[in-house]
Structures are given as C-alpha cells and as structure tokens.
Chains A and B, each alone.
Chain A
Amino acid sequence: MKRLLLAMVKAGSSWTITPLVIGLFFLIYIGIAFFTDETLIALMAFTRKSIILAALLALIPLNSAFRILRETGTYLTIRRVLSGKKADVMPELFDDAVELPASPSITELESRLAAEGYRTRRSENTLAAWRGISAFPVRALFLAGTFCLFTGILVSVTTRTSQRRMVIEGEPLPTPEGTGGTVDRIALANSSGSILSRTLTMEVAPSGSGYGKSVFGLYPPSLYGGFFVYPRYLGIALHFSFFAPDMPSGYETHCTLNTYPPGKEDNAIIPDSPYRIIFSIQEPDAGSDRYTSYMTGNITLRFKLLKGKEILFTGSAPGGGKFVRDGYRLALPDIRRLVVTDFIRDYGVLFIWWSALLFGAAICIWLPIRVFFPRREMVFRYEPDATRACSRAEGGSRKHAGVFHEALDLVDARKTEG
C-alpha cells in the first residue's frame, strides 16, 4: 500500500505535468483563434462543457498538491541528513557528491568552515555546514498559490452562475432564489481612496426568510444567500404616466432606465401606440460631479416624445413633476435609484483571492532571500576509512563550490600527511 502511495505521489508530482497541460491549453487557444475572435470566452465555454478538458485542467492543482508533498519530504530528508539523524547521506538530493579515502580531523574542518561564515553542527560521525535561509517555505507558498489559482479557475469556469437583477431603493432585494429584505437605502458618495473614487452602499433590511440586516459595498463584494452581490452599473427606476390626444385613457407604468452617466439615452415604448419616449438625465453644471443627481436623489429627466420617427417635442421634468403640452401630458410621480447588480455564485473567487495573497507573500519573501541569503549546505560523513561529502546551493553556487572544493582539499591533505 505504501509502495502504491509512493508511486502515486511520484507520478502525480512529475515536473512535466503542469507545463504540458498549460501548453495543451495554449495550443487549443491558438486553434480556436483561427475560428473566432472571442477566443478566451470560447475556450472557457469548451472547458465548462467538456469533462476531458476540465479533468486536464484539474491536473494542475493536483500536481501542485503532490509537489508540495514531495518537496516537503525532500526538505525534511535533507534536514535529517544535515542533523546526522539519517545514516545514508542520499547523494541524489544534492548537487555534488564525492567520496574521499580519508578520515580527517573534524575540528579543523569545522573551524575552517566557520571562518568562511558557515554555521556548523557536529554529530557522532557527521559534520554539517550551512549558511543562508532555505527557500523551501517560499516554494511551498508558491505551490500553494498555484494550487489555489488553478483550483479557483477550475471551480470558476465549471460552476459559475451569474444572474442580473435590478436592485431598487425601497423595493425587496431581488435575489435569484426569491426576494430578500427591503433595500432601505442606496448611497453613492465620493471617496478619497487610492483605487476607488466612489463608494456605493446598499443597505438591506432583515428579511422574513432569516437574513439579518446587510450592507453591501463595492469591494470585496459581500455574500447574500450564497451569492456574491456584484454592483455593475447605475440606473433609475421610473414610475410615469402618459396621456396623448389620441390616447385619452393614458398609460401608466414602472420601468427601469439605464441612463447613467448623464446624457446616455434609454427609451420607454408605449405599447399598442406609435409613441416612444426617450429619456436621459440632464448633464450637471460644468465642474460639478457627473453623478451628483444620483448622490442627492434630485433627478431631473430630459425626454423626447416620438410618434413613429417624428419628434413631437422635447422637455424636462424633475421626479414628482409633470409636463403638459398640446394635449399631451407626461407625469413622473416617482424616480428611484437603481443599481444593476449581478448575483454571482462562484466559490472559485475565494481561491483566486487566496492565490493572490500567497503569490504576493512568496515574491516578497523570495526576493531578499535569493539575493542576500541564499541557502548553501554541505555535509561530511565519516566512515572508518573514507569520507563522503555532499553539497548543494540555492544561489551563489560558484562561491559555495569553491569553499566545498577547498574543504575537500583539506580532507585530502590530512590523508596525505597521515
């Protein structure tokens, strides 16, 4: 069983798996690029639908996990060799290994290596010397980051669902699984943050289905009923009534309009009639914030009334106001703030966030270690009539090799003297 497990770890932790899988996906990407301009979206769709592609992608996090296991094992073995707890020095774990037919004075060698800045440890028949900090923890962070990144991509590509809803002030929160609590307040404000220029908060009252009071911001997005609440765009919810000379009974409706930023047009069609009303929000005065109307809630709508392709007239009216001309009447009793919001179920996002943290930490730690304190190790094990010496370096290998060679020369010279 143990042998089977070891074989599995060995196969799963192969160096070739990750580059081969990435290379294969790259080739598929190139292949798709010949047929469509939406190459990445098409590749994601293929991966979502194809079990084979998903399984191939899953090999990368699996490979990272196996590599963590294997490299942890190697690291621990080297530590045991250096501490003299392992009888066999295992030359395959080192860059360089050599055997000399001599058994010299450990003390002299130890003091020579200490003079070169190496820390040493003596045990019964082993002398270990090292300097610098091992990059293994960084490597583990990097592999964990790779694991999280590709797990995140896999989970995201294969399970993500996204549903767009209009979140309107004063209305229940329209979640994909029914409705949540009432949206008490939507607030847009300027922000002094270094990344975001505005903050958006949506306050939702406790719901009958057991959710407490919630406040949703921009980033990181909050979860509600298992969905990330991802605000996308701003708009308005409009309640209007319209009367025309040839429509004495009039028409009244609620609609949502995608009219931000100011100047952007959206239209409402009056059914069973030739009329269409194009709405837009008045541009604010020069120098003032374009979203002032949304922030304050004082929204004045401009409109164009069209009959067929002909513009009958244009005008403007604030929320609660009305406009009357030539027998036409347009009333805007209520304008509310609206946020076009995506409700996204995707737990891969959490893995991707974690991977960003792990990669960030890995690079911050790796760089100073690699530049200033690269790990260099050597170990000498004495047998009755021979010395076996091994050496490895994670950086500064030429200088380290020089010290190692001189140490070997010293061992050899003592043999000659002896």
Chain B
Amino acid sequence: MAIFFKLIPHVLSWVGIVLVLLRGLSGHRSVVTAASMAGFVIGVVGAFILLGSFPGSFSFGIIKSALGVSFLLLWGVSVATIYLSTGRRAAISGGGRFVNTKLGAGVVSGLAGIVAGAVCACRLTGTGGNALAVVLLALAAGALAYALVFAARAVDRLLPASFTVSMSGMLAAVVALLLFSSSSILRLDLFSPLSMKVMKGVHDFVHQFMESILIPDHLFVRPVVWKYIGFLFGKEVGFWGGMVIWFTPAVLIAMAIHFERLPSVAHIRQGAQRRRLLAAAIRVQRFRLVIPVLSLVIFSAAAYQSSFPSVEYWDPKPLPVSASQAGEIVIPKKGDVNLEDGKLHKYLFKQGDSEVRFFVLMTPAGKLTVDLDACAICKPDGYGQAEGSVICYYCKTLIPLETVGRVGGCNPVPVPFTEKADTVVVDGMTLLNSWSATVKATARVKEGGK
C-alpha cells in the first residue's frame, strides 16, 4: 500500500507533463498521446530491467544523467529564447520548428515519457525481476499511463482555447515536473549535488580569481573584509548559487515572453483599434506567462523536497572507544554491534584534548571500510545513511555506498586499518593525524582561507 502513496508525486508529475505537452503541441494531440504512453511504458520496463541487471550507482547514474541533460537542454533553450526576444536575428529557432512537426512532437513526448517512466520505476528497486514480472509490470505501466493520459486529456478539454503555451514554456514545465518527480528519490535528486558543485565551483573561482589578479593573502586583509570574502566559501553560497542555476531558465523564459515586442500597429490610423490590438496581444502574452511561472513554483517544490527530504537517516550515537598501550583501537566485528550488517557504525575516540569521530561500514561489495565522519571539503557535520547511500549533513551530497572508502569529493575520508578474523584494528595516532589534517583544512575553507 505504501508504494502507492510513494507513487503519488510521480503520478501527478506525469499527468502534468502530458497536459503541458497536449497544450504545447495542440496540433498533434493524438501523436502526443500515443508517444507519451509508449515512452512511459518503455521507461518503466527499461529502468526496471536496468536496475535489476546493474544494481547500484551505475543504473541510477544513467537515469540521473538523463535528467541532467534535460536540465542542460532547458538552460540552452532559455538562453536562446531570451536572446531571440531581444530582437536579434539569429537563426537558432530551428529546434522550435522541428518540435512543431509530427515527428518532433512524437520524439519530445516519447522522450519525456521514457524519463518519467524510468523515474517512476526507481521506486520499485529491490523487487526481483523475471520475465513474468517484466510482462506484468509492462501491463500495469500501460494501464496506469492510459488512465493518466485519459485524465490529462479530460483536464485539457476544460481549459480555454486562449490558454496557449510557448515551446520554451512547455519545455520548462516538462523539465520542472521531471525534476519534481525525481527529487523525492534521494539517488536521483539533482538539486543537492548541484549546490555542492556550486559551492566547490565558487570556491575555486574566487581562489583562482584572487590569484589571477594578484590580490594579497588574508594575513594582509582586514578581518571584516575577509569575512565577506569568506562568505563566498560557505554552504550558503552553494545553496543560493544552486537556487540561481535552478530557477534561471524558467525566469529567462518568463522574461523573454514578458519582453517580447508587441506587434507593430503604426500602420493603423484608428487609436481605438490600435489599443484593442495591443490589449489582445498583451492578454495572449500574459496567458503564455502562466506556464513558466507555474514551472517556477514546481522548481521551488523540487528544491524544497531536496533540501528537506522526508527520509529518516540511520545515524547512531558514536560509541566511545580507546586505544591500547600500543596505540591501537580494536573493534570486535560481532558483539553488541555487528560490523558486517551493512549499516553505518560510529565511534568516538578521545585522547587528551583531541577527539575523532569515525565510522565502520560494510559496503555492498562485502568489504569493510573505516572512514572519518568528515570529508575533505565540508565542515565536519558528519554522515547519515539512507537508501543505498550516505549523506553529508553539511552539503547534503549523497555518496553511494559502493564508493564509500574511496578518496575524493565529498566522500568520507578513508582511514587505513587492519582487518583480522574477529576484529578491525585502527591506529589511534593515524586517526588523530588524519582528523586533525582534515578538520584544519575544512575549517580554513569555512573561515574563507585560500
């Protein structure tokens, strides 16, 4: 039963996508209906087979890449749209003409259906798949797609004819709905990784910029000035920068429609008629603004869902451990805690004034890994575990369980250890040094150091 509730955001998104496609490609309603339904079924079945054949980050990566490409496409289209709206006579509107053909309408609807279906199928992970299951799933997906397309067509008939949708507005809405649908699945979410990349990108850019134009280092700069520069290195910049990138395409499309030049009425000599024509053009323009503005609302919902996911993280209280005379921390594999149960097990090691948080985890490949509860980039807020990944609490980046234990990015910093038959042994000094080096470096980032 729970799965049906979980499917609600995807179902709503799918209805929205079909409705927008029917409006935007109103000349090819039957093509849109058939192609989107077929695409949805292909997407569900294809993703189901993919996830069954390659469980783990590879399959999710493919679907996430498709979502990323659609977002990039939206960016390209929005820039072209605002550029064309300024009256520049650039010949870059060929894509719009193609979409308006029967073939174009079919391709766009089919692709939107495939991605929407694939996102839906990600809810079914963990289900074993044989040929019969695939056939049953295809039938169920087909029935669901048919019912939902029928509902979308019914809503479409209720809308006034003057409610038109521009090509770019249609794309904005479709992408917004796809991202809204995917934002409820942690491993497909795009907004949090985007924020993290922006945080890192801004940090690199500011650093390179300051080096490029030979700005003196922080020791010479007034602390209050450095505080402002330091703001650019924080997670807030990642979040707000991510928001800018997230919303800009829809804003650009809305602006392009708003600033579209009104038709020339200079040749008409009756003032009343001129005003009537202009008023009609402005009314049409306002109708066409509805979808981009709605897209902004949907993008907001997706960003909210991503920032405050309704997921409970497994985050055990760190267990205190101490080192032996030889400086070794020995953790039994079985006992109060079973290190091989695939869950994150956190420990706290104190020595003098220093303390270190670390965890032990069995990866899906069956290998134990010992890592700091901190990464080499962010403030050490630690990690929680959910849906085949661990999440960095500071920047909300998801790290697939398969890659925990590898260095780089926002991955937890791995610590060398020795695995024995019944125990895991970690050197206390190594742990302290590793924590001290990591936390020092990330604190410098936090304070705005270069």
Could you list which residues of chain A lie within 8 angstroms of chain B, going by C-beta atoms?
Answer: 14-16, 19, 23, 27, 30, 33, 37-41, 44, 95-98, 156, 193-200, 218-221, 228, 230-234, 260-261, 291, 344, 346, 348-349, 352-353, 389, 391, 401, 404-406, 408-409, 412
Contacts and interface: CB of A to CB of B under 8 A. Distances in A.
B97 interface: no
B214 A38 contact: no
10 contacts: A23-B79, A39-B201, A194-B222, A195-B222, A199-B220, A200-B220, A218-B220, A233-B217, A346-B212, A352-B212
Nearest to B86: A15
B62 interface: no
B266 interface: yes
B204 A38 contact: yes
A33 B68 CA distance: 13
B216 A98 contact: no
Interface stretch (B38-46, B99-107, B143-151, B267-275): B267-275
Given A40-B208, A221-B214, A98 B266 contact: yes
Contact of A404 (B212, B216, B266): B266
Chain A to chain B: the 4 pairs with minimum beta-carbon distance, closest first: A40-B204, A98-B266, A197-B222, A15-B88
B215 interface: yes
A218 B79 contact: no
A261 to B, nearest CB: 7
A230 B205 CA distance: 19
Nearest to A197: B222
A193 B224 CA distance: 12
Given A98-B266, A389-B266, A405-B265, A232 B271 contact: no
Contacts of A196: 216, 220-222
A408 B266 contact: yes
B3 interface: no
A221 B271 CA distance: 64
Interface of B: 72, 76, 79, 83, 87-88, 90, 92, 197, 200-201, 204-205, 208, 212-217, 219-223, 225, 261, 264-267, 269, 271, 274, 377, 408-409
Nearest to A390: B266
Given A39-B201, A349-B214, A391-B266, A195 B208 contact: no
A352 B214 CA distance: 11
Contacts of A193: 222
A409 B197 contact: no
Given A44-B208, A194-B222, A261-B219, A405 B90 contact: no
Contacts of A230: 214
Contacts of A233: 217, 219
B214 A156 contact: no
B222 A40 contact: no
Contact of A96 (B92, B214, B266): B266
Nearest to B197: A33
Given A196-B220, A409-B271, A353 B208 contact: no
Contacts of A344: 214
A404 B201 CA distance: 49
Contact of B212 (A195, A199, A349): A349
Given A218-B220, A391-B266, A408-B266, A40 B201 contact: yes
Given A196-B216, A349-B212, 16 more contacts: A14-B90, A37-B377, A40-B204, A40-B205, A41-B204, A95-B261, A156-B212, A195-B221, A196-B220, A199-B220, A221-B214, A230-B214, A232-B217, A233-B217, A260-B219, A348-B212
Contacts of A37: 200, 377, 408-409
Contacts of B83: 15-16, 19
Contacts of B204: 38-41
A172 B197 CA distance: 45
A219 B266 contact: no
A197 B266 contact: no
Nearest to A188: B220
Contacts of B200: 37, 39
B278 to A, nearest CB: 9
A405 B220 contact: no
A197 B208 contact: no
B225 A195 contact: yes
B92 A218 contact: no
B301 to A, nearest CB: 25
A73 B443 CA distance: 55
